[in-house]
Chain A
């Protein structure tokens, strides 16, 4: 662990100013502490943003729901309005980590947790994301957890968060403030970036940005939504594959709107437009769900250890569609 200075900050402007100077933020610390201990993150300054007034969930007059960046995952999971309006989000939170972690971890931090790629977190091995140009050990290594979608020859690391997968299915946006005071909104879908040849750059955030919160728009209300997560044990582990499905059905049971995103399989929370398209206008049944889900793994590139994710992804999406459509 490299020595660093610790600087509590009181407001977003102060935080952004520190970040512009190169400080890293610590919120719940559930990921940051691991990164510091393993020597993966070596910030010169750690700005503690826990006192920023960005906690809690509010409802706009139009029915949109806002979640402050520092809201703890458990508080979000316990929010009755969120559960009622966007069950997929709550379900994803319920299946995230463990109660202990959820009581510390924040919504903003969750969007930014780093990959669980085994090589990224072990500084004794080459990794392009951690040390650009050093090589990617996962390509021919222990890549069971790595991505089959969105990878490049430089990096196939999975973005492991559950929450953003669910957020994509309800068209959520991230609110960001820059050190210059400017605010902007970015759809969660566009927030993370593909690794390409710069796997060290993971999001659209720039130095000097701070996340203020999230907004789930009112228009996403009323979709039937559901989150399915497959993992190696019954709780407290990241997804091997997960799927968030949000569907709107007309009175005749036809799909008029579909949003499907998946996690655990891709280098960023991954939307599946082709699967959505396959569902539009159809009356849902189990066969339809299966046929549509086949497209989930379109473009997948598998490696020695993660080929199983291709069928697993398809079946996870199928299951999520069936359960969201209450076809079980």
Chain B
């Protein structure tokens, strides 16, 4: 008797899972079971985090019906997390924005309008601002979730067309310090190694990252590596909060927030004093630096570190830190065959985030724990295309596509020439960085802003201050998004966009890997891909401002079909022209190649031949990285050709310990830190609309250490007022051995005004990277009442 349809689907499910785990199942009729469940499987990447898991969307009668991981993909080997598995439910969600919406005044209700009207209004308002107040009165604020083609085209129109470098994006809030760290330590942005190092590492140093919840599929690989090599592999987790990540740790270093610079310097001290450093590597490839131009000696570095003996550092770090723990961590780090560090926002979102990045890199440089298999200093990215789109595609105010600095005349002119626009068209001065941009909004200096695929009204620190600016009646604000958000509440014009798999384009994940997602289903209603929106807007702008150069910026794309041809044409221009000769050379990663590969291509990939093999797994290694061979100056196996270090060496930095901007005091005695929870992502505009995910965490709470709770008479579920010098929240308590004593921790996804924690956080920022110190500020907490029934909340739009 034949199997039932459900039985076939179950077998498909089992076979797919088994193929990921390398378990062989012998099931009758296995062949027939495959391909029974969908008309077509379309390949792409997960929409959510920066891991970049490869997925296939099963489509039936034009609707998404199933999702599966891609077992051949080196990012995830077929595994997905629950968030990743469910994002396709957002296609066809009833809350989707499906029509352009407009209101002249922010006090009015929105009215549905046509695309023609919407694009005319957007063009008229931006043109009016430019004519009346100059080019720098307009701005674009984008996202590490926009496709590379989108970021590239937006910034091209803003810089080349509207003559402003006011181009920013939310990656400024999450990885700008990592960029600063890579550039100043290695001379080139983005990690040297890859995820593949995980399977070869024998020591993991996880600091400032709750990988288990924020990057679950990658964490699975760390966990697998540990389970398979229980004694041989050591895991060190350094974090002020015990999280699910700490579960696999052999050593948990729980320090007080903001003391990590001392900890990292103390580890370096032990490595130097105990002779655990790699003298040959240091001699061949490195220099020591106090400032950019000030070179110092090894002895000076050694004497600088004397301020950070384990005893002194333990006294600064407090928590559970002892001199012995610091010594153990340093020895494991240095002596292991291959050490891999991974970190995220705990390191980056700091007043001294770049320094913290430098000090992790220092540990790798002095021990030579780089370039060899399994060894790397590897910053994890939070968003799926912060690296590919924003870091590489020119999405920040000071960088042009292909890792070019705006302020360098030669590089700016290169871009102008490649775009075929007059030299001098792109201003020489970088634009406003994110915090300066929203300060300028507050001051009324910016008159028109385009916000794409992100929600600064919720995600900026000290949010109330900046929401006031966004609410100004003399600011025209366009928002392109798929759902209503806290930011659409402040917009004049809301434009509905196509979601992932409803359009075509490339995401570049954490490990320099570019992956293509192919359109599989139609967007709902009148939602449109951003690339179409920008092109049509630019053509209207050219007329309004009577400026043919604006039209020139989009001329190569006019007449192209919008779903496949248009993004491909943009990608071709970007990769073939703008990345040629740059360290992120992507010329080989054509759509043709990307479609053939299960997991995209890692740059540098100058030729299709190289790209078809997957590209470059390790940068700077001769024989592995084509650019290392091309730029080789000598016979040494490693060649550091990065654009930021003229001496082509790695720099070991002398960076002193510095605490956070705001320390707890008598009035505000607690540290406040914020972060993610596994089932919610960012501002929850997406995950909050998936009932299965919302159910697990319907609202944010404040985690309080049990000893603090006892002292303050707080029981689980009690309503707690969390207050800082900037704002307050009222949240239920979770009494939990997570945060170190004296610290509270709040999830930042909740959109409810009472629980929107960025009303409380501080907007101090790193002077180098300009990334805000979300992770640390001072607050006080007070029990207000017993438990209350709370409702989940999501922003909506009324028309």
Q: Do A and B come from one complex?
A: no
Which B residues contact A (CB, under 8 angstroms)? none
